[in-house]
Amino acid sequence: MKRQNLDRKWKFKLISTSLNQEIPSEYTVVDLPHDFSIIQKRDPNTLAGASNGFFPGGIGIYEKTIYAPIEWKGKKVILEFEGVYMNATIHLNNQLVARHPYGYTSFHCDLTPYLLYGQDNTIRVTVNNSALPNTRWYSGSGIYRHVWLLIGESVHITPWGVYATTPKVSPDCSTVCVKTTVENITDKPQNVTIRSTLLTDNGSIAAMDEIQLNVPGESKTEAQQELTVSPANLWSIENPYLYTLKSEVIKDGIVIDTTETRIGIRSISFDPQNGFRLNGVSIKLRGGCVHHDCGLLGAAAYDRAEERKVELLKANGFNAVRCAHNPPSPAFLDACDRLGMLVIDEAFDCLGTL
């Protein structure tokens, strides 16, 4: 699916805080990522106390207008939120589209049934971080990670629809198994070709495979492929080599959908005798717990700030991080992949009240 960044020029209004403080009633224009807690006045009486920096949090509304051209008819249109803290409710043209309570996981909203084609459409995101405390650390509030608009043809690879594993890992010959989920939103079956191409860091082809796939109407089907890479550059802490997996949907000889996924060829194992092994080599994990905020920037996940955190950890001898205590931003994980950092990616520590 085509990805369009939607970070610029949202209207934002804070409508209440957990302490019923006096707040301005007008909208302001903000760019995402945006953390409305970090700009609040601290209050010693806040319900979250010291663990959340004495910030009151509250309820905020974000609005943005997008134009839906007539050409989008018959296509799939999705909003992707990388993270909203927390209890997010999404409306399009005053129609409820989705709710997502957890503040640290990415999620998708299907806009297709609610779009008005050839017109402006208003997205409204209500964020409720008033039920404090709901963490043991500074959480921030608002749409604090990127937002994307995804547009796919009637037959397309679903968001997060490419899953790659490396069951056989060796510098001489490695195997990459790829599962690709394809969706057909028409009411008739569609015959397509799925092409998976593994590219080296200089763009040359390391491996490629094509498979025919029949996708029934209004359903999803998974294609499974196996790529042999010989020789293979293995990902390691010292040499974080990444391939690009290019996934394509081809119909009647025309590429109708494309997505790219960065992957490293590596193996991990644990046992009592050797402990943790990466690519068969025993390694001691040297690291620490890292929270998702960026200091004075608050929880807003700016790509460069996320990358800088990993650079500083590497420069100080770290080879691993434990994400305390929730999934980090995609930008942070991408930086770990590129710079050579092992990650213990936790799911959650505690959940807030709905």
Whether residue 226 is found in the same domain as residue 333: no
Whether residue 242 is found in the same domain as residue 111: no
Domain range for 166 is 155-263
pLDDT at position 354, please?
Answer: 41
**Number of separate domains in the chain:** 3
Whether residue 148 is found in the same domain as residue 159: no
Whether residue 28 is found in the same domain as residue 126: yes
Mean pLDDT of 327-349: 96
Report the largest interatomic distance among the alpha carbons of the chain, rounded to a whole angstrom: 66
Q: Are strands 58-68 and 10-16 parallel, antiparallel or unpaired?
A: antiparallel
Confidence check: pLDDT of 58 > 80: yes
Give the pLDDT band of residue 31 (cuts 50, 70, 90).
very high
The pLDDT tens digits of the residues spanning 185-216 come to 999 999 999 999 999 999 999 999 999 999 99
d(CA 169, CA 183): 31
Confidence check: pLDDT of 352 > 60: no
Please report the sign of the dihedral spanned by the C-alpha atoms of residue 49, residue 50, residue 55, residue 58.
negative
pTM of the model: 0.94
The 10 Å CB-count burial string (b at 16+, else e) for 89-124 is: bbbbeeeebbebebbbebbbbebeebbeeeeebebb
d(CA 292, CA 78): 26
Mean pLDDT of 265-288: 95
d(CA 5, CA 342): 28
d(CA 20, CA 132): 13
Confidence check: pLDDT of 353 > 70: no
Whether residue 198 is found in the same domain as residue 225: yes
Confidence check: pLDDT of 93 > 50: yes
User: Of 87, 122, 152, which closes a domain?
Assistant: 152
pLDDT at position 34, please?
Answer: 98
Whether residue 9 is found in the same domain as residue 145: yes
Give domain status of residue 353, yes or no: no
Whether residue 17 is found in the same domain as residue 127: yes
Instruction: Please provide the size of the chain in residues.
Output: 354
Whether residue 82 is found in the same domain as residue 174: no
Confidence check: pLDDT of 269 > 90: yes
Give domain status of residue 48, yes or no: yes
Whether residue 23 is found in the same domain as residue 135: yes
User: Of 121, 152, 183, which closes a domain?
Assistant: 152
d(CA 79, CA 68): 13
The pLDDT tens digits of the residues spanning 237-256 come to 999 999 999 999 999 999 99
Provide the CATH number for the domain around residue 321: 3.30.110
